[in-house]
Each structure stands twice: as C-alpha cells, then as structure tokens.
C-alpha cells in the first residue's frame, strides 16, 4: 500500500512539472509495470493470506471437532467409569451376599450332617438303581455293618424282601409299593450282617436332583414295639379269659352263693316263730339273720362292682339334674325333699353310660345321707370342661371332651390321710354298728370314673 502511494505521488509530480511526453510515457510504462507487479504481488499475498486463513479456519474447525470428540470421549469415559464403579459396588455386594449364603449353606450343611449322624433313626440315601450313596451311624449300628461295606452296595443287602440279585425291576416295584403306602411308610424285616432278621418301620421319600432321582429311607427298629404288642396281645387274651371266668363266677355267685343265704334267712324266720317266747334264741336268730342279710348285701355289691366293666353300655347324653332327682326320689323314706338343698352349676348334660352315672350318683348321695350328721342335706353338683379338653364352637363349649364333676355335701367328712383307703374294695373308716354298709360303694364310683 505504501509503494502504491509513492508511485502515484511521483506520477502526479511529473505531470505537474510538465515532463516531456516521451519521458512521461516511459515513466508511465515503468510505473504501470511496477503497479502491475505490485498488484500481482499483492494478489499472491492476498491469495496466500486467504489460503492461510482458510487453512486456519479449517484447522480451527478440525480442532473444534476434535475438542468435541474429546469431550464426548471424556463424557463416555466418565459414564463408563461410573458404570464400572456401580458394577464394582454391585459385584462387591453380590460377592458379600454369596459369601454369606455360602457360609449359611455350610452352616446348614454342618447342622444337617450333625443331625444326619446323630439321628436316632437310621437314614439311608439310595439312587434310582438301588445303590446306597449315604448311610448314617444309626443305620450302621442297626444293621451292624461298617460304612466301607455299605457305600455303593445294593439296598437288597439290608432288606431281604428285595431280590438279592439286585434286579432293577424288583427294586422299582418295591419303591412304588412303599410310596403308595399310607404316609409312605411300611413295616418289613431287615437283615443284620450276621444274617439275623429284625422288624423295622421304613418311611420313604423321593427327590429329583437335576437329572438324578434319589430316595431317602428313614428306618426305625421296632423290635421292642413288636415285643410289647405281643405281650399286650397275650395280656389281652389273658384278660379276656379272666373276664370270662369272672363273668361265669358272677353268674354262679348271683345264684349259687345267695341260695344258701336265702335258705338261712327263710329257716331262721320259721324258727323265730317257734321260739317266740325265748328271748335268747330270738337274739341268736336276729344275729344269724343280720349276718345273712349283710352277707347277701356284700355279694350283691360285689356283683355290682364286677359288672361295671362287663355290662358297660354305649355313651349317650345324660341330664345330671334329671338323674339326681330320680336318685333322690329313691331315698324319700330316708329324707324328705324339704330337708334337701340341691344346687347345680356349670354344665348339666354329659356323654356317659346312663346306668353307671345313676349308680355313681346313687352311691355318693347315699353316703351324703348316711353321714349328714342330723342336719338338712346340702348337695352341690358342679360340672365343667377340663381346660385341656375344652372345645369351642361359636362360643359354645362342646360335650365331646373330658368333664370334671364336683359333688359337695355338708356331712361329717373324713381325714384326708385316708383318701386312698376309702376307694379300696370292702374298706371302711367307721364301724358297721354306727354306720351300716359294705365298703364297696366308693370303690364302685372310682371304677365307674
């Protein structure tokens, strides 16, 4: 720009001083050439500057693009870092949970192993081909085998009902039959190492583990129970024979033992008529009649006692109030209703043998009258369900549980040290001359209860 101004100034100056035209033309050509060169140089400079500017702009754009990419990459790296940190936290938590689960699993396995080894019953795990996989100490002791002789042995070695050949179809049939039993339990015989057979009860369960089917047999030695059952059957048969003999004896006693007593009393009555004036003879005869009557009462009471079991009737609903009033009516000649205070409380209807309940209340009320000590009879009867057998249905107690009957009177009572004696057969706390009786009444009551 400075050179252009200088050339222009020179040209003007030459014009002013009237330079000759040829010179001026030469100068003009020189100036024009210089101007052209200058313009060319300037054009190249401008082009170079523009090119540099364009490259600079392109570089700036590229730099901006790279910066954006760097920022994007940075953001992605930060996000990836955040995800990795989150994954690390989750992985650490999962590892912790898994370690805790593994620890609990190990503890559970230890407990199960302890239970397995200390269980009182034998526990044997069998595969689907009848091979023993595990066996606990109780089973080893039960069959008297060492563990080395049991693992991978066939189950038929312990259970003789299976084919000793270990036939797979026989084993499957045995498994299916056992699983179809009630509660998947059956009784059969086991075989010890020495060949002895013993009765056992076996409960069987099956479990699918991946592609394997396993069976667990829980075995209980029932030798003691079988012996007890055999003894019980023997005792039951013996008791049945004894009851039959007792029943036959009762039939004999009801006729053959009482017949002589009836004759003694009959002939005593005739003799009494013949010795009407002989007081000593009459006294002897009265003693004979009294003894015969007491003997007959003893036999009757004993027969009543013996028939409680043999003549028992099915249970039915019994109204305690009604039965008590019927029993009191039987004693009207001994005590009038005006001399009796009767109170009921609690339940009044129970399920029982009506004849035995009547006999029970008859004996107790008879004792209450006998020992009332010249006072008006006060009788309180209370019935309640026992706490451990109470049943509720819409707030109402049901009469299908155990019932406690409490009977209280105002009699003379007795010393509690004799509580065990008064319920024994033919046992009395008072003399017969003061309070008549046979000592059988409360024994009958206890047997009924």
Give the domain ranges of the chain: 2-110, 119-221, 233-293, 313-413
CB 359 within 8 A of CB 313: no
CB 247 within 8 A of CB 310: yes
The Cα 79–Cα 85 span in angstroms is: 10
Percent of the chain with pLDDT over 70: 79
Residue 408 has pLDDT above 90, yes or no: no
Reference 350, options 389, 404, 407; nearest CA is 404
Reference 331, options 340, 320, 343; nearest CA is 340
pLDDT tens digits for range 74-110: 888 888 889 988 988 888 998 988 888 888 888 877 7
In three-state secondary structure terms, 314 is coil
Torsion sign (Cα): 410, 414, 415, 419: negative
**Residue 266 burial (CB < 10 Å; 0-12/13-18/19+)?**
exposed
pLDDT-derived band at 161 (thresholds 50, 70, 90) equals confident
Q: Are strands 316-319 and 340-346 parallel, antiparallel or unpaired?
A: unpaired
CB 397 within 8 A of CB 386: no
Instruction: Please count the residues of the chain.
Output: 449
Phi, psi at 28, each rounded to 5°: -60, -40
The Cα 424–Cα 419 span in angstroms is: 10
How crowded is residue 149: how many other Cβ atoms within 10 Å of its Cβ?
13
Question: What does the block give as tokens for 101?
Answer: 């689960």
pLDDT tens digits for range 295-343: 777 777 777 776 676 666 778 888 888 888 888 777 777 666 666 777 7
Q: What value does the mean pLDDT take over residues 424-443? A: 70
The Cα 190–Cα 321 span in angstroms is: 59
Reference 202, options 233, 167, 174, 169; nearest CA is 174
Residue 165 has pLDDT above 60, yes or no: no
Beta bridge partners of 409: 379
> Of the ranges 213-217, 291-295, 387-391, 440-444, which is most confident?
213-217
C-alpha 251: how far from its chain's center? 51
Reference 355, options 298, 313, 297; nearest CA is 313
pTM equals: 0.45
The Cα 73–Cα 270 span in angstroms is: 140
DSSP summary character for residue 253: I
Q: CB neighbours of 138 closer than 8 A, spacing ≥ 6?
A: 119, 120, 121, 122, 123
The Cα 4–Cα 42 span in angstroms is: 11
pLDDT of residue 190: 92
pLDDT of residue 47: 81
How crowded is residue 142: how many other Cβ atoms within 10 Å of its Cβ?
21
Pick the CATH number of 313-413 from 3.20.20.70, 3.40.630.30, 3.30.360.10, 3.30.565.10: 3.30.565.10
Reference 361, options 332, 318, 397, 399; nearest CA is 318
DSSP summary character for residue 255: I
Residue 390 has pLDDT above 50, yes or no: no
> Of the ranges 236-245, 255-264, 308-317, which is most confident?
236-245
E strand intervals along 222-255:
none
The Cα 31–Cα 67 span in angstroms is: 51
CB 132 within 8 A of CB 162: no
C-alpha 200: how far from its chain's center? 24
DSSP summary character for residue 98: H
How crowded is residue 445: how many other Cβ atoms within 10 Å of its Cβ?
21
Helices (H) and strands (E) in the chain, counts: 10, 12
CB 339 within 8 A of CB 376: yes
Question: Domain spanning 119-221 has what CATH number?
Answer: 3.30.450.20
């Amino acid at each position: 720009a400075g050179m252009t101004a200088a050339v222009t100034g020179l040209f003007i100056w030459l014009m002013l001083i009237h330079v000759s035209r040829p010179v001026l033309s030469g100068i003009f050509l020189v100036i024009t050439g210089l101007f052209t060169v200058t313009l060319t140089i300037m054009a190249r400079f401008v082009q170079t500057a523009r090119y540099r500017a364009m490259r600079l702009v392109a570089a700036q754009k590229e730099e901006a693009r790279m910066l954006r990419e760097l920022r994007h990459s940075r953001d992605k790296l930060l996000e990836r870092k955040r995800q990795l940190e989150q994954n690390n936290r989750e992985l650490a938590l999962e590892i912790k949970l898994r370690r805790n689960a593994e620890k609990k699993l190990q503890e559970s396995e230890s407990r199960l192993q302890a239970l397995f080894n200390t269980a009182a019953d034998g526990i044997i795990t069998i595969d689907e081909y009848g091979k023993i996989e595990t066996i606990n100490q109780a089973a080893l002791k039960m069959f008297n085998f060492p563990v080395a002789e049991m693992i991978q042995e066939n189950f038929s070695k312990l259970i003789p009902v299976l084919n000793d050949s270990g036939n797979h179809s026989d084993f499957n049939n045995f498994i299916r039959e056992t699983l179809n039993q009630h509660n998947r339990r059956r009784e059969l015989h086991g075989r010890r190492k020495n060949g002895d057979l013993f009765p056992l009860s076996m409960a069987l369960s099956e479990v699918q583990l991946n592609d394997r089917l396993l069976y667990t047999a829980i075995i209980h030695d029932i030798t003691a129970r079988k012996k007890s059952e055999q003894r019980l059957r023997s005792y039951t048969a013996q008791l049945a024979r004894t009851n039959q003999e007792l029943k036959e004896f009762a039939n004999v006693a009801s006729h053959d033992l009482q017949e002589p007593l009836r004759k003694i009393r009959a002939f005593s009555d005739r003799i009494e008529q013949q010795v009407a004036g002989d007081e000593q003879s009459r006294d002897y005869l009265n003693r004979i009649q009294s003894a015969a009557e007491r003997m007959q009462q003893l036999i009757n009471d004993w027969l009543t006692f013996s028939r409680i079991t043999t003549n028992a009737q099915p249970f039915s609903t019994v109204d305690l109030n009604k039965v008590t009033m019927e029993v009191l009516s039987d004693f009207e000649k001994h005590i009038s209703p005006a001399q009796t205070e009767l109170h009921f409380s609690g339940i009044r209807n129970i399920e029982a043998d009506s004849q035995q309940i009547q006999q029970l209340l008859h004996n107790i009320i008879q004792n209450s009258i006998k020992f009332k000590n010249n006072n008006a009879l006060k009788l309180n009867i209370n019935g309640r369900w026992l706490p451990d057998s109470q049943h509720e249905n819409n707030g109402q107690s049901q009469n299908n549980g155990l019932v406690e009957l409490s009977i209280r009177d105002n009699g003379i009572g007795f010393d509690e040290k004799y509580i065990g004696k008064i319920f024994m057969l033919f046992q009395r706390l008072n003399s017969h001359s003061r309070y008549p009786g046979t000592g059988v009444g409360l024994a009958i009551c206890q047997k009924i209860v």
